[in-house]
Amino acid sequence: MEEQVDIQQIKPPTYAKGPVGWLRENLFSPWYNAILTCVALLFLYFVFKGLLTWAFTEAEWNVIPANLQLFAIGPYPRDQVYRIWICLYILSVLLGLSAGVWRGIVQRWTIVVGSILLVFLVIPFEIVQREDSHLVSIEFRFNLIWLIFESRRWLLGDVALLIGAFFLGQRITRLRPWILGGWVLSFPIIMFVLHGFGENAVQTSMWGGLLLTLILAVFGIVVSFPLGVFLALCRQSKLPAIKWVSTFYIETVRGVPLITILFMGSVLIPIFIPYFTIDQVLRMMVAITLFSAAYMAENVRGGLQAIPRGQHEAAQAVGLNYVQSMMFIVLPQALRSVIPAIVGQFIALFKDTSLVYIIGLIDLFGVAKSIITNPVWLGRHVEVYIFIALIYFSFCYAMSKASQEIEADLGVGKH
Amino acid sequence: MYHASNTMAQNSTNIPFWRDTRVLKVLFQILFLLGVFLLAGILYANMLKGLESRGLNLKLDFLRNEAGFDVSDSVVEYASSDTYLKSFYVGVLNTVRVSLVGILCATVLGLFFGIARLSTNWLVRNIAATYIEIFRNVPLLLQIVFWFTVFGSLPAANNSIELFNAVYINNRSIHFPSLQQTAGFSSWVGYLYAAAILAIISVFVLALIFYRKHAERMKEGDDNRYFMHISRAAKWSAVPVFLIVAIIGWFFAPESPFVLVRPEFQRFNVVGGIRFSASFISLLIGLSVYTSAFIAEVVRSGIQAVSKGQREAARAVGLSTGQTLRLIVLPQAVPIIIPPLTSQYLNLAKNSSLAAAAGYDDLFRIGKTIMTQAGKEIPVFAMIMVNYLTMSLTTSAAMNWYNSWVNRIKR
């Protein structure tokens, strides 16, 4: 009994509350953390002071709004821009429908995309090209209605389609297979729309900017994934010939830098395949995909190896053949466990597309380089680099966040 | 039962060979290999035809011709009158140099930010997280070009920035003080040999003394203890003995073995000390900062992979924070960290092929120059590939060996 009394007499541990308590717990709790905090604050002070002074006094940001279109689409003919809007419409409809049908993560991310578009739609400022110089000014517009319905018609249509498709998708859930089919078909359709045919055809050498970066990245991601899974399965195969050929391929590709593969695609392919000239952009797409597939294969192999033998044996025991057991039993588990690695590979691929600049394509990085070399924008290197770094960063960061959400949604590591 | 197995046996004898899976497997593989070889053969034939039509061949004798171009950073003596082979060799050395220094810097930075990422201090933790997120989500090419631009915006050589009267920085290079050997160096090396011998002797003596003292217990087969004591003796006697003799040697040598040579500012330029070009430094910063963000994540996940219970148990038996880290967490975290760490090192070495973006003459850039000058795309390209492959494959072979070694100990 005495002991019980003792326990009751012990005071509960004090949990500090409020902002002061939070500060004490997170910044000053053992003595050395207080020192660390001071050092960190000093560091932040100098970094921010330097950055902000530069950004507001020395930097001339005019180069960004003046070249916004160039960043977005590069040298794509200005009178053909409607085609890019058509592609965006296709994607918006598909995205809206998917968000309505599947809800969950897709819906959350569609809302993010939609809100960004909406902000661009209603922001009451407009970039105006000055008549006397290459400079632009950003002007405030009172007449928002005019702005939206006149100069932002295309964007308005896009947002409207996105929202409309979303509500349509919510009503009609049996659209699922059609939407999936739509996504699969969207890529060739978009390529066709962008390229066109006949007199107005836009050669791929005119594709550029973020548009080209996205095309290269999306193609690479979409094709390298199944290819990587296929290579991984080949490497795990019991047939020695197939196993060794795929191992040889994977290890060779992983052993050399991407730039050598791109270079091979650019310089050596015409020597090896002289029958016809293959489009430069297409060659780079294939090179990036083949490179990425080898890494993807290794990631997938990691997942395959983590699947216990019992799963294979159980699949065989219930009479599934090889394809069935892989499709329904092994791969779903293996891929789920390596989602972070796969998305990491996607992010790497997205960043790696900047290397096509070295081969001579005008992707986002290439556009930045060409703007810098323009004497009009002399000395505006750092501003341009920071701007495109922000673009790359937003895409990569969004991908890594999405991967974390998918992981949480699938409950990886919980089962 | 008997009946079933009997029919099966009969079936296996009656199956025609085109439906026998064993035969089919072999047949399929043969066809597959034939396809692969056929494809390779067609490509090879095309290449030969293409080369012939342009009057080229695959011979490597052009490597003995004069290169005729300069290389900006070279570790060894090199002039434009040297051969292509020599220039290629310079490129290989440059790649190795920037990779090794980059690996060192990236490891230090990565360890620092990886550990800072796990700090209990909210501010430190978030600064580290921001650093990691920024630098791993922006293309390396962009980062290298960015640092090169920043370097280029520094003052010119005649206005060099001076730090601590020892380091000079300008838009083309950075100068550090260097250590130069003097006449006293060789006699100091003699002292170093003596120090090493004395250190080894001291370990043997201590081991012998210990063996005498515990001879009985040794017979019971407690080998582990013996090795533990020897390693302790090495730590407490060999290292101090070596250091003491080396230091004594430093003072007894006729001259101080090294002198510190500071770079000096003369009229228009900085002379003396050790010079690194802006290209090298901006490539180095780009590579190591980019890779360090990945290494930080590797370190963080490695440390977090050691389950929390291990740490709590260590605390429960009374180990201090330092001891917990050194004796419990790190021995378990390091085997997890090493494989992804090596692949990051390999990535760094391969990414050094972006050197051209900073104007640094690495293997790939020099290779490209040779290609265009000599018009020998395929042989030079093959040489570049072989170099990178050797680098990667030897490292990953060493890695596999290390991995199996670690896992052998574990089980």
Cβ–Cβ gap A27/B378 under 8 Å: no
Whether residue A269 sits in one domain with residue A148: no
Instruction: Decide if domain B84-177+262-410 falls under CATH 3.40.50.300.
Output: no
Structural contact between residues B154 and B171, judged by C-beta atoms closer than 8 angstroms? yes
Residue A376 in any domain: the answer is: yes
Question: Which residue numbers in chain B have pLDDT < 70?
Answer: 1-13, 214-229, 267-268, 407-411
> Which two structure tokens, joined as six digits, stand for B372?
């265009």
B350 vs A257, A354, A393: nearest CB: A257
Whether residue A179 sits in one domain with residue A139: yes
At B103 the three-state DSSP class reads: helix
Nearest CA in chain A to B387: A256
Higher pLDDT, residue A385 or B186: A385
Whether residue A187 sits in one domain with residue A94: yes
Nearest CA in chain A to B132: A397
Nearest CA in chain B to A356: B141
pTM attached to this predicted model = 0.85
Cβ–Cβ gap A256/B47 under 8 Å: no
A271 vs B28, B47, B133: nearest CB: B47
Buried b (16+ CB within 10 A) or exposed e, A347-367: bbbbbbbbbbbbbebbbbbbb
Whether residue A284 sits in one domain with residue A177: no
Task: Give Cα separations from B325 to B115, B304, B311, B321, B330 (angstroms).
Answer: 12, 12, 8, 6, 6
Higher pLDDT, residue A346 or B336: A346
Provide the chain A residues 31-50 that lie in CB contact (below 8 A) with chain B.
33, 36-37, 40-41, 43-44
A365 vs B139, B150, B364: nearest CB: B139
Cβ–Cβ gap B127/A256 under 8 Å: no
Whose CA is closest to A331, among A296, A294, A301?
A301
Nearest CA in chain A to B44: A272
Cβ–Cβ gap B385/A256 under 8 Å: yes
- Domain-terminating residue out of A148, A166, A201: A201
A268 vs B136, B378, B393: nearest CB: B378
Q: How many CB atoms lie within 10 A of CB B370?
A: 26
Cβ–Cβ gap B120/A44 under 8 Å: no
Instruction: Give which of A28, A263, A401 to mutate to test B binding, by max B Cβ within 10 Å.
Output: A263
A305 touches chain B (CB under 8 A): no
Chain B residues whose beta carbon lies within 8 Å of the beta carbon of residue A44: 123, 127
Structural contact between residues B210 and B285, judged by C-beta atoms closer than 8 angstroms? no
Whether residue A249 sits in one domain with residue A178: no
B122 vs A26, A255, A256: nearest CB: A26
- Domain-terminating residue out of A155, A176, A201: A201
- Per-residue HEC secondary structure of chain A comes to CHHHHHHHHCCCCCCCCHHHHHHHHHHCCCHHHHHHHHHHHHHHHHHHHHHHHHHHHHCCCCHHHHCHHHHHHCCCCHHHHHHHHHHHHHHHHHHHHHHHHHCHHHHHHHHHHHHHHHHHHHCCEEEEECCCCCCEEEEECCCHHHHHHHHCHHHHHHHHHHHHHHHHHHHCHHHHHHHHHHHHHHHHHHHHHHHCCHHHCCCHHHCCHHHHHHHHHHHHHHHHHHHHHHHHHHHCCCCHHHHHHHHHHHHHHHHCCHHHHHHHHHHHHHHHCCCCCCCHHHHHHHHHHHHHHHHHHHHHHHHHHCCCHHHHHHHHHCCCCHHHHHHHHHHHHHHHHCHHHHHHHHHHHHHHHHHHHHHCCCEHHHHHHHHHHCHHHCCCHHHHHHHHHHHHHHHHHHHHHHHHHHHHHHCCCCC
Backbone angles phi, psi at A129, to 5 degrees: -75, 125
Whether residue A244 sits in one domain with residue A161: no
Tell me the pLDDT tens digit for each residue of A394-413.
999 999 998 888 888 876 55
Chain A residues whose beta carbon lies within 8 Å of the beta carbon of residue B351: 257
At B55 the three-state DSSP class reads: coil
What string of DSSP letters covers B227-266? HHHHHHHIIIIIHHHHHHHHHHHHHHSSS-SEEEEPPEEE
Q: Which residue has the tokens 């983590």?
A: A306
d(CA A354, CA A362): 9
> Which two structure tokens, joined as six digits, stand for A255?
């052993």
Cβ–Cβ gap B120/A274 under 8 Å: no
Cβ–Cβ gap A242/B29 under 8 Å: yes
Tell me the pLDDT tens digit for each residue of A141-165.
777 777 777 778 888 888 899 999 8
Q: What is the CATH number of the domain that holds A256?
A: 1.10.3720.10
Provide the chain A residues 204-263 that lie in CB contact (below 8 A) with chain B.
239-242, 245, 251-252, 254-260, 263
Pairing, β B161-163 against β B264-266: unpaired
A264 touches chain B (CB under 8 A): yes
Backbone angles phi, psi at A190, to 5 degrees: -65, -40
Cβ–Cβ gap B393/A255 under 8 Å: yes
B377 vs A240, A267, A365: nearest CB: A267
Cβ–Cβ gap A272/B46 under 8 Å: yes
Cβ–Cβ gap B378/A381 under 8 Å: no
Torsion sign, CA atoms A303, A304, A310, A314: positive
d(CA B7, CA B76): 77
Backbone angles phi, psi at B82, to 5 degrees: -70, 175
- Whole domain around residue A25: which residue ranges? 14-58
Residue range A92-104: mean pLDDT, rounded = 87
Q: How far is A129 from chain B (nearest CA, A)?
A: 28
Whether residue A315 sits in one domain with residue A247: yes
Q: What is the pLDDT of residue B137?
A: 93
Chain B residues whose beta carbon lies within 8 Å of the beta carbon of residue A33: 120-121
DSSP state of B324: I
Total domains in chain A come to 3
Residue A9 in any domain: the answer is: no
d(CA A159, CA A89): 9
- Domain-terminating residue out of A201, A233, A255: A201
At B66 the three-state DSSP class reads: strand
> Which two structure tokens, joined as six digits, stand for B398?
């060493």
Whether residue A367 sits in one domain with residue A245: yes
Q: What is the pLDDT of residue A1?
A: 45
Q: Which residues neighbour A26 within 8 Å (Cβ) at sequence distance 6 or greater?
A: B120, B121, B122, B123
B133 vs A256, A268, A397: nearest CB: A397
Instruction: Give which of A26, A292, A351, A407 to mutate to test B binding, by max B Cβ within 10 Å.
Output: A351
d(CA B380, CA B369): 10
Q: How far is B358 from chain A (nearest CA, A)?
A: 12
Whether residue A186 sits in one domain with residue A237: no
Does position A13 have pLDDT exceeding 70, yes or no?
Answer: no
d(CA A338, CA B45): 41
Tell me the pLDDT tens digit for each residue of A173-202.
787 888 889 888 998 899 888 888 777 788
Higher pLDDT, residue B3 or A26: A26
Residue A178 in any domain: the answer is: yes
Whether residue A308 sits in one domain with residue A267: yes
Task: Give Cα separations from B184 to A73, B209, B258 (angstroms).
Answer: 66, 37, 8
Whether residue A169 sits in one domain with residue A148: yes
Provide the chain A residues 333-352 that lie in CB contact (below 8 A) with chain B.
347, 351-352
Whether residue A22 sits in one domain with residue A81: no
Chain B residues whose beta carbon lies within 8 Å of the beta carbon of residue A357: 141
Question: Helices A381-410 & A364-373, crossing angle to 10 degrees?
Answer: 170
A396 touches chain B (CB under 8 A): yes
